[in-house]
């Protein structure tokens, strides 16, 4: 269906003015922080005008277009209110509003400006908040049936905001099925997998033999303590952690106290190019998440010819196929994850076979193809 829409829109392509609301932006790390400047650059190169409203701790590290930053030093109600006000101002000068987070603010801005809203949904925002506020500790699937008063309020706010969207883009069939369960009409939920980086040659960084790499925000969701424990059980394995986040200090403490203390390194934030070079030099990417939608880091590792060892959560199995371009294990079990790490290091020919299939497995996810489809969805909404 999307292919037909793309061909139709290509014949009447026009320039758009886009108000882009997002919760994070470089130097922040994470999938949305990668997506934001990448997609903005694509849109600008296609002749569209883009204005970003985001939140941050300082100046944006990338400016492919006009980027306005609401300070995170403001208390949350003031900060979120300012995103809504600035978003509405940007929306009034735009043809369409595009949001990758801050959905309530985006819905308020789009409604105030009477502009259509396209939302890219990368998780269940109600679940994320419930976990953050310690209102719920179970899985994403279990959360869908949770019914305490605070949880019901979070769910209602989430669904109310998303129902204002003309189109809701999700990167996995897994999340699409969950989103449809919120009462969102089936025709508005479109699956569009996260894109792979452009097919440029990446010079691998020289890492120590047996090094696995994690890339992403250091949050409870990523369950990196499980990865640290797993690596400690495999003396030949090493782990390099690229990224930052609220769990970093605790994870560094855990790593220092583990049997593999000397084999776990935290590199902090790195540029996209630096990160891809580090990943390209790894024996495999490593993900130990308790829950996921479809992480950019898995697609990026595969795109540079590196297999992925991951927990089989969310939409990960839609890209990482067990025994073909990576290995999948259940979440929350360091022994099982350690066994997969050991297989990569010790099973003859396994790593090379998985690596050979890695890059071809994501060739259809080039940024030109994926962003072209997303551009078309924005054009259709703007009309």
- For the stretch 124-151, pLDDT in tens is 999 999 998 999 988 899 999 999 999 9
One domain for residues 118 and 262: no
pLDDT of residue 284: 98
What is d(CA 184, CA 213) in angstroms, rounded to the nearest whole number?
37
Find tokens 């985001």 and name the residue: 54
The range of the structural domain enclosing residue 89 comes to 2-195+366-382
One domain for residues 236 and 252: yes
The verdict on residue 204 lying in a domain is: no
The verdict on residue 203 lying in a domain is: no
The verdict on residue 266 lying in a domain is: yes
The verdict on residue 159 lying in a domain is: yes
One domain for residues 160 and 261: no
pLDDT of residue 12: 53
One domain for residues 191 and 312: no
Position with higher pLDDT, 169 vs 10: 169
One domain for residues 43 and 78: yes
The CATH number of whichever domain residue 108 belongs to comes to: 3.40.50.2000
pLDDT of residue 106: 97
What is d(CA 167, CA 378) in angstroms, rounded to the nearest whole number?
9
One domain for residues 137 and 43: yes
Nearest CA among 305, 131, 132, 277 for reference residue 202: 277
Q: Please, which residues have CB within 8 angstroms of residue 216's CB and are 6 or more apart in sequence?
A: 29, 30, 31, 222, 242, 243, 245, 287, 295, 297
pTM here? 0.82
The verdict on residue 90 lying in a domain is: yes
One domain for residues 242 and 314: yes
One domain for residues 131 and 47: yes
One domain for residues 191 and 271: no
Q: Which two tokens stand for residue 123?
A: 């998780």
The verdict on residue 201 lying in a domain is: no
The verdict on residue 65 lying in a domain is: yes
Total structural domains in the chain? Answer: 2
The verdict on residue 184 lying in a domain is: yes
- For the stretch 251-289, pLDDT in tens is 999 999 999 889 999 999 998 899 999 999 999 999 999
Across the chain, mean pLDDT equals 93
């Amino acid at each position: 269906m999307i292919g037909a829409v793309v061909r139709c829109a290509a014949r009447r392509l026009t320039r758009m003015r886009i108000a882009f609301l997002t919760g994070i932006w470089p130097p922040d790390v994470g999938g949305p922080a990668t997506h934001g400047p990448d997609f903005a650059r694509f849109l600008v190169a296609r002749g569209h005008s883009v204005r970003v409203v985001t939140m941050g701790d300082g100046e944006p590290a990338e400016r492919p277009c006009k980027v306005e930053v609401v300070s995170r030093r403001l208390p949350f109600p003031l900060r979120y209110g300012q995103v809504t006000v600035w978003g509405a101002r940007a929306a009034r000068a735009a043809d369409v509003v595009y949001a990758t987070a801050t959905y309530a603010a985006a819905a308020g801005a789009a409604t105030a400006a009477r502009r259509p809203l396209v939302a890219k949904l990368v998780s269940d925002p109600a679940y994320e908040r419930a976990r953050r506020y310690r209102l719920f500790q179970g899985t994403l699937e279990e959360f869908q049936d949770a019914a305490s008063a605070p949880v019901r309020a979070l769910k209602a706010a989430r669904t109310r905001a998303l129902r204002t969207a003309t189109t809701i883009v999700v990167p996995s069939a897994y999340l699409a099925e969950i989103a449809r369960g919120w009462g969102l009409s089936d025709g508005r939920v479109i699956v569009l997998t996260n894109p792979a980086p452009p097919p440029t040659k990446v010079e691998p960084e020289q890492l120590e033999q047996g090094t696995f790499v994690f890339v992403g925000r250091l949050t409870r969701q990523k369950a990196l303590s499980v990865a640290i424990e797993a690596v400690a059980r495999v003396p030949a394995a090493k782990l390099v952690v690229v990224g930052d986040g609220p769990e970093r200090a605790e994870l560094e403490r855990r790593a220092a106290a583990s049997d593999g203390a000397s084999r776990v390194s935290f590199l902090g934030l790195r540029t996209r190019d630096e990160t891809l070079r580090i990943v390209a030099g790894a024996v495999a990417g490593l993900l130990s998440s308790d829950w996921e939608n479809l992480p950019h880091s898995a697609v990026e590792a595969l795109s540079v010819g590196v297999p992925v060892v991951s927990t089989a959560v969310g939409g990960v199995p839609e890209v990482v196929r067990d025994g073909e371009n990576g290995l999948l294990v259940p979440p929350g079990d360091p022994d099982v994850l350690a066994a997969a790490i050991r297989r990569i290091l010790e099973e003859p020919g396994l790593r090379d076979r998985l690596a050979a299939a890695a890059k071809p497995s994501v060739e259809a996810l080039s940024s030109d193809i994926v962003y072209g489809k997303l551009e078309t969805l924005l054009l259709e909404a703007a009309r």
